[in-house]
Chains A and B, each alone.
Chain A
Amino acid sequence: MKKISLEVYHFAGSLRIIATFLLRVEDPIKVFLPIKAIVDTGSPITLISSTDLQRMRISKLQLQNIPVKNNPVNIGGGQIFTKEIEKTKIKFGNDIEVEMPINFPVKGEGSQPSLLGIDFMLKTKSKLIFNPSKKEAYFEIED
């Protein structure tokens, strides 16, 4: 059994489960940076925020040119469009590395933070253990 430790903080009006990982993309863009994402079991997709996109110094226009279709994503009452980049690697501190599609925003003014969605849990077949009163959370992944 493998375990990914998560942090639990009060952020933007609520207690949130936070995952921190290294994100690496080699193609069609080159990206390598640490990301803080809210674990959101209500989100079917993993989504990079506009803020993190700007940290990568990649413009939405650059992403628009990637020959992948735009996906509409409804979030927080608004709609944004994303490009799904297939071979994105996310790596956690305990050396767990996962390759999965991740959505990058290309159009629309979403102010949402980066989200680690339920797609990650399906890909890794993990369980989320969350104890809000003790501010403890972690993913449990069966070998």
Chain B
Amino acid sequence: MTNQELTLLKNFEQDSEWFHNNNKEIIKRGFVNKFVAVKDKKIISSGKNLDELIKILEEKGENPSYIFIEFVYPEGFTLIL
């Protein structure tokens, strides 16, 4: 794995970890039922749908492929796979 790949994976993992460890706080901050984009352990954008969020990210010069994006489920919601 190249250094660039390793950095990309590490940053993505850290943002994923931050999202899951701070989920309750993210819900409290009013992001329920929205998609959020996380970079460097911060929410950099959010949107009610993914098209809207990806457009915002592109306008900011970000590549959505490399950004951690997740939907914020309401508390008590259970997803059965």
A72 to chain B, nearest CB (A): 17
Residues of B1-47 contacting chain A, CB below 8 A: 1, 5-6, 8-10, 12-13, 16-17, 20-21, 23, 35
- A32 contacts the other chain (CB 8 A): yes
On whether the beta carbons of B1 and A51 are closer than 8 Å, the reply is no
On whether the beta carbons of B73 and A13 are closer than 8 Å, the reply is yes
* CB contact between A18 and one of B9, B16, B71, B77 (< 8 Å): that residue: B16
B3 to chain A, nearest CB (A): 12
Binding site for A on B (CB under 8 A): 1, 5-6, 8-10, 12-13, 16-17, 20-21, 23, 35, 50-51, 54, 64-71, 73, 76-81
Binding site for B on A (CB under 8 A): 7, 9-14, 18, 20-22, 32-34, 36, 38, 40, 42-43, 51, 54-57, 75-76, 91, 93, 95, 111-113, 115
